[in-house]
Amino acid sequence: MNPLELDDYQHIVFFTGAGLSAEAGIPTYRGAGGTWAKYDYRAYACQRAFDGDPAKVWDFHDERRLRMASAEPAAAHRMIAAAQATHPSVAIITQNIDGLHQRAGAHHVIELHGSIWRVRCRCPGAPQVNLEAPIAERLCPTCGVWRRPDIVWFEDPLQPAPIQQGIDAIAACDLLISIGTSGVVYPAAELPRAAAQRGARCIEINPEPTAVSEWYDTHLRTGASDALRSLLPDLATGGTTPG
Ligand code: OAD
Of the candidates 227, 186, 181, which has an alpha carbon nearest to the alpha carbon of residue 29? 181
The one-digit pLDDT tens for each residue of the chain (243 residues) are 789 999 999 999 999 999 999 999 999 999 888 999 999 999 999 999 999 999 999 999 999 998 998 999 999 999 999 999 999 899 999 999 999 999 999 999 999 999 998 888 888 766 666 665 545 578 888 888 898 999 999 999 999 999 999 999 999 999 999 999 999 999 999 999 999 999 999 999 999 999 999 999 999 999 999 999 999 999 886 444 444
Judge residue 126's burial from the number of C-beta atoms within 10 Å of its C-beta, 0-12 exposed, 13-18 middle, 19 or more buried. Answer: middle
Q: List the catalytic residue out of 11, 87, 113, 219.
A: 113
Cα 225 to middle of ligand 1, angstroms: 15
The number of the ligand 1 atom at minimal distance from the alpha carbon of 188 is 29
| pLDDT, position 238 | 47
Distance CA 138, CA 54 (A): 9
Q: Which residues approach ligand 1 with their CB closer than 6 A?
A: 17-19, 22-23, 28-31, 34, 95, 113, 152, 179-182, 185, 205-208, 210, 223-224
Whether 113 is a known active-site residue: answer: yes
Cα 198 to middle of ligand 1, angstroms: 25
